Structure 1
C-alpha cells in the first residue's frame, strides 16, 4: 500500500523527506482465536513540517498507530523509521534516549505533575534526558505558548487550556523531530480548543514542526494539513485540507 496523498507534501526544491515512516506495520494483541489485529499492514510517511490528523471509529487503530510511530509500542511486523533511526531495531536504551530527545507527546489529560510549577513541568524532560537546564530556554518556550506570566503557577491554578499549553511547552522544550498528540483538545471547552489548535498551527507554519494528531473532533482534524481515516486497522481514506463538514461526512460513512 502506498502512502496516502497529502502526507508527503512537496515544496519548492523537491520532495520533502519523512520525519517518521511506517512500512508494512502490523500490531497484534492476544493469541490464536483471541488475537486482535489493531494495525494491519499499514504503510504511511509523515513529511517534515506537516500536520496530519488521524481519525476513525472506536477500535480502528488510531491510538495504536500513534504509539507504534512514537516507539511506545512494539510492532508485530514491519518497520518504523524516525528520520534515520530504525525504531524496530533499536535497543531499549536507544529507544528511551530517542523518545526523550526526538519525540514529544501531548495527552488529552495533560499529565502535568501537580506539585510542580509550570516552569518546573517544562524543565522535566531536560532533567530526565540529563541535559543542561537553561532557564532562558524554558522562559522562551513558555513565552511561545503565551504563559510567560504563569511560570510559577501550579496546574491547579491554571485553566484547562493553559494546562494543555504547558503540556505542549513541555513536549517542545527538547525541540523534538515529531510531536505526537493524542486527543489534545478532548478535555477542553471550544474556546480553549481553538487556542490550542491555533498554537499547533503556529508550530507547523512558523517553526516547521511535524505533528501527528489523533482526534475524534472534525473541527480539530480540519485544522491539520491532511486527515487519514482508519478502519479495522487499515488506512481506508485520506483528505487534504478538508473542511470540518467534509471530515464529519467521511467519518460518518465509516461509522455507518
Structure 2
C-alpha cells in the first residue's frame, strides 16, 4: 500500500474492491493487526495498534477487533456452540449457554449447536463465524471475501447477517470482495489500484459498482 488513507465511520459497512495485486486483502490484515505496517498509523476502533505488542494485539482481537475470513479459524474438535463461546471465554467475558444458543438460532443454526465444523457445509461454517462475532460484541469486524466460497443462497444469508451486525449491534465492518452485487450491500465502496485508493462510492448499487470496476480495469 502506498500513501493510502481511509477513514470508516463507526457503525457503517465499507466494502473494498480492486484487481488482483491491488492490496485489497492487505488492507484489512494491516488494519486488524495481522500484518505490521512499516509507516503510517493503524487505528481500528480508535485504538492505535501501530506499535502494539503481540500481547496487546491478542487482547484487542478478543475484545475489540473481529475477523471473518474465508479461512474461518473455527476450531475443528469443538462444536459450533463451543466455537461461538470460545473467544468470550478467552477474553474472560461471561456468556451463558442460552446466549450462545440464541446467537446460533439468530443465524439459522439452532439445530446445529452440537455439530463440529467438518459436519457442516461451508455456508453453515461461515454463519458460525458470524454468530461468534455477534456474541463477542466487537467494535470492528474485518471480513475478507466472506461469501467467496458460498452458493448464492448462503451468500445472501451471510450478507443479511452482516447488515444486522451494523444496524442492530452498531458494529463497523470493512469487507473485501470482488463481487459488485456483494459490495452493493455496503454503505460505502472504496476502490484500490496498485496499493492506492483511487475511488469511492457512497450508496452503491450493483450497476454503479460494476461501472467503476470497469473504469479502473478491475
Match status 1:88 vs 2:50: yes
Q: Give 1:53's aligned residue.
A: 15
Q: What displacement does 1:87 show?
A: 0.5
Corresponding residue SS for 2:7: strand
Q: Give the gaps of 5 or more residues in structure 2.
A: none
Match of 1:70 among 7, 17, 32: 32
After TM superposition, the score normalised by the length of structure 2 is 0.94
Does the 8 Å CA contact 2:28/2:174 hold for their aligned counterparts?
yes
Q: Give 1:140's aligned residue.
A: 102
Q: Give 1:118's aligned residue.
A: 80
**Distance across 2 between alignment mates of 1:204 and 1:126:** 20
Corresponding residue SS for 2:126: helix
Does the 8 Å CA contact 2:10/2:45 hold for their aligned counterparts?
no
Which protein is bigger by CA-based radius of gyration? 1
Q: Measured at CA, do residues 112 and 132 of structure 1 come closer, stay the same or move farther in structure 2, by a change above 3 Å?
A: same
Q: What displacement does 1:187 show?
A: 0.5
Structure with the bigger percentage of strand: 1
Does the 8 Å CA contact 1:70/1:180 hold for their aligned counterparts?
yes
Q: Give 2:147's aligned residue.
A: 185
Q: Give 2:191's aligned residue.
A: 229
RCO comparison, higher one (Cα < 8 Å, 6+): 2
Number of residue pairs the alignment of both structures matches: 218
Q: Measured at CA, do residues 92 and 156 of structure 1 come closer, stay the same or move farther in structure 2, by a change above 3 Å?
A: closer
**Distance across 1 between alignment mates of 2:135 and 2:208:** 35
Q: Give 1:12's aligned residue.
A: none
Match status 1:238 vs 2:200: yes
RMSD between aligned residues: 1.5
* Runs of 4+ residues over 3 Å off in structure 1: 130-133
Corresponding residue SS for 1:106: strand
Q: Give 2:2's aligned residue.
A: 40
Does the 8 Å CA contact 1:104/1:172 hold for their aligned counterparts?
no
**Cα shift readout 1:69-89 (whole Å, capped 9, x = no counterpart):** 111111111111133421013
Q: Give the gaps of 5 or more residues in structure 1.
A: 1-38
**Distance across 2 between alignment mates of 1:59 and 1:252:** 16
Q: Give 1:131's aligned residue.
A: 93
Q: Measured at CA, do residues 109 and 177 of structure 1 come closer, stay the same or move farther in structure 2, by a change above 3 Å?
A: same
Match status 1:208 vs 2:189: no
Q: Give 1:35's aligned residue.
A: none
